[in-house]
Amino acid sequence: MNTIVNFLFAAIKAGTPLLFGTTGEIITEKAGNLNLGVEGLMYMGAFVGFLVGFYTESLLLSLLAAFGAGVLGSLIYAFLTVTLKANQNVTGLTLTIFGTGFANFFGEMLIAATKGGAPKLSAKFSAKLAEIQIPLLSDIPYLGRALFSHNILVYLAIIIAILSWAYIKFTRAGLYLRATGENPAAADASGLNVTLIKYVNILLGGGICGIGGAYISLLNGNGVWNNGCVNGQGWIAVALVIFASWSPAKAILGSLVFGAFTIFQVRAGDFAAEFPALSFLSSIPNAIYVMLPFLVTAVVLIITSITRKREGAQPASCGVNYYREER
């Protein structure tokens, strides 16, 4: 049983940065913009969040800075695609290159400026990211350990995802967001300010991606800055958006599944030891597990296009820029 609990615990941790990135990208895509720059935004958030945490030792400031970095990165994207109507794919890819370069360039400088060449967050700072035992809930056998004794950012990710879900589904602004991404011409004719809605949501989404990056740099490297730390997780987040059928609520579950894929190989041995019937799991090569998020997503993508479902599909205008006087 402990194996399962530990596995769940680790899967949730591994899924958290993905959840941030996915939630951010869902909000962006809901506005009708496919931003392929998630990887870059996460890198920017990762570095800026780390830098501020490193110098100020304030978690709040660190997260705010990471959010701000994401906002700034996506501001470039929004300005180019919304105002200047540049191709979304190309702009997003460029943002990935830029963001990756940004983090690694300044990361290198930080490393050079640190004695010993390994910038490490202070113990005081890292203590703020220690696992929290939620009173009462964490005492529930098994589940308490798996679900209710995580670090604060895990809960933040879930809260943001739930809030985003509620925002999109239940608020008026969320309705306007959905309308804009589905049919900007209709939204415009209804009197919505399409440009403003796109900007606000692209920036919001970018900021959330930035926090996802910070999660990686603050927690996954044992508090030490690593160049290249995001390492493709932004792309998994883009895939997860499809897997979660553009719903932040489903993304919570999806991030658990994708998180599980990423750590499965490490844990497969434990499973095999405890449940001999599952020993085949450890014989599946790791490559398959890391491939699974993309494979599953591709299959989901194809199936939804075959069934032609209207709900749970990509917002109809996604990828196409809007110009009112087009005819």
Partner 1 sequence: MDTVTNVSARGEIAIELRGITKAFGSVIANNNIDLIIRRGEILALLGENGSGKTTLMNMLSGIYHPDSGRIYVNGNEVFIRSPQDATRLGIGMIHQHFKLVDVLTAADNIILGAGKGFLLRRNRFEEARKVAERYGMYIDPEKKIYEMSVSEKQTVEILKVLYRGANILILDEPTAVLTPQETQRLFEILRRMRDDGCAIVIITHKLNEVLEISDRVTILRRGESVATVKTSETNAAKLTEYMVGRPVTLKIERPDTKPTERLLNVYHLTVEDEDGVTRLDDVSFSLRGGEILGVAGVAGSGQKELCETIAGLHPIKKGAILYKKENIEGKTPREIIKLGISMSFIPEDRLGMGLAASLDIADNMMLKSYRDPKSPFTPRKAAEEMAKEVIKKLDIVTSGINQPVRMLSGGNVQKVLLGREIHVNPSVLITAYPVRGLDIGSSYVIYDALNEQKKRGVGVLYIGEDLDVMLELCDRIMVLCHGKVTGILNARTATKEQIGLLMAGATTNERYGEEVVPNE
Partner 2 sequence: MNKAATGTHMPRFHIVKRVEMTRGEIFILNLYAVLIAIVAGGILIACMGINPVSFYGTVIVGCFRSALSVKSLIRIVIPLLIASIAVIPAFRMKFWNIGGEGQFIMGAVFASYVALFFPEGIPHLPLMLLMAIAGIIGGGIWALIPAFFKCKFGTNETLLTLMLNYIALYIIQYLRDGPWRDPAAGGFPKIAKFPERAWLDQLFGVDISWIVAVLLVIFMTIYLKRTKHGYEIAVVGDSVNTARYAGMNVNAVIMRTMFLSGAIAGLGGMLQVSGEATTHTLSMGIAGGVGFTAIIVVWLANLSPITTVAVATLIGMLDKGCGVAESTYGLSSAVSDILQGIILFTVLGAMFFTNYKIVFRSKQSIKSHTAAAPGGENK
* Binding residues for partner 2 (CB under 8 A): 34, 36, 76, 79-80, 83-87, 89-91, 93-105, 107-109, 112, 227, 232, 235, 238-239, 242, 285-288, 290-291, 293-295, 297-298, 301-302, 305-306, 308, 314, 319, 323, 325-326
- Is 85 in a helix, a strand, or coil? coil
10 Å Cβ neighbour count for 314?
20
DSSP 96-141: HHHHHHHHHHHHHHHHHHSGGG--B--HHHHHHTS----TTGGGST
Q: What minimum distance in Å lies between the beta carbon of 170 and partner 1? A: 6
Task: Report the 10 Å Cβ neighbour count for 204.
Answer: 22
3 binds, among partner 1, partner 2, none (CB under 5 to 8 A by kind): none
**In the complex, what is the shortest distance from the CB of residue 307 to partner 2, in angstroms, rounded to a whole number?**
9
Nearer to partner 2, 27 or 236 (CB): 236
Distance CA 168, CA 185 (A): 19
Choose between 134 and 249: whose C-beta lies nearer to partner 1.
249
Q: Which one of partner 1, partner 2, none interacts with residue 157, CB within 5 to 8 A by kind?
A: none
**Residue 68 contacts which entry, partner 2, partner 1, none (Cβ below 5-8 A, type-dependent):** none
Least distance in angstroms from the C-beta of 90 to partner 2: 5
76: partner contacted, choices partner 1, partner 2, none (Cβ within 5-8 A by kind): partner 2
Specify whether the CB–CB gap between 228 and 263 falls below 8 A. Answer: no
- For residue 126, the minimal CB distance to partner 1 (Å) is 38
Which region, left, alpha or beta, applies to residue 313 given φ > 0 means left and ψ of -120 to 50 means alpha? beta
Residue 50 or residue 246: which is nearer to partner 1 going by CB? 246
List interacting residues with partner 1 (CB under 8 A).
170-176, 178-179, 182-183, 185-193, 310-311, 316, 324-325, 327
**Which of partner 2, partner 1, none lies near 124, with the C-beta cut-off 5 to 8 A by kind?**
none
How near is the Cβ of 34 to partner 1 at its closest, in Å? Answer: 18
Choose between 221 and 319: whose C-beta lies nearer to partner 2.
319
238 SS3 class: helix
Q: Of partner 1, partner 2, none, which one does residue 56 interact with (CB within 5 to 8 Å by kind)?
A: none
Residue pair 57/252 in contact (Cβ under 8 Å)? The answer is no
**Residue closer to partner 2, measured from CB, 6 or 304:** 304
Query: Residue 199: CB partners within 8 Å, gap ≥ 6?
Result: 78, 82
Residue 187 interacts, among partner 1, partner 2, none and using kind-specific CB cut-offs from 5 to 8 Å, with partner 1
SS3 assignment, position 224: strand
- Give me the least distance between CB of 221 and partner 1, in Å please: 40
Would you say 173 or 295 has its CB closer to partner 2? 295
Closer CB to partner 2, residue 95 or residue 147? 95
* Pick from 105, 25, 104, 30: nearest CA to 70: 25
Asked whether the beta carbons of 80 and 195 are under 8 A apart, the reply is no
What are the C-alpha distances in Å from 116 to residues 53, 54, 68, 97, 105? Answer: 19, 15, 29, 28, 18
Nearer to partner 2, 25 or 67 (CB): 25
Neighbours of 252 (CB within 10 A): 20
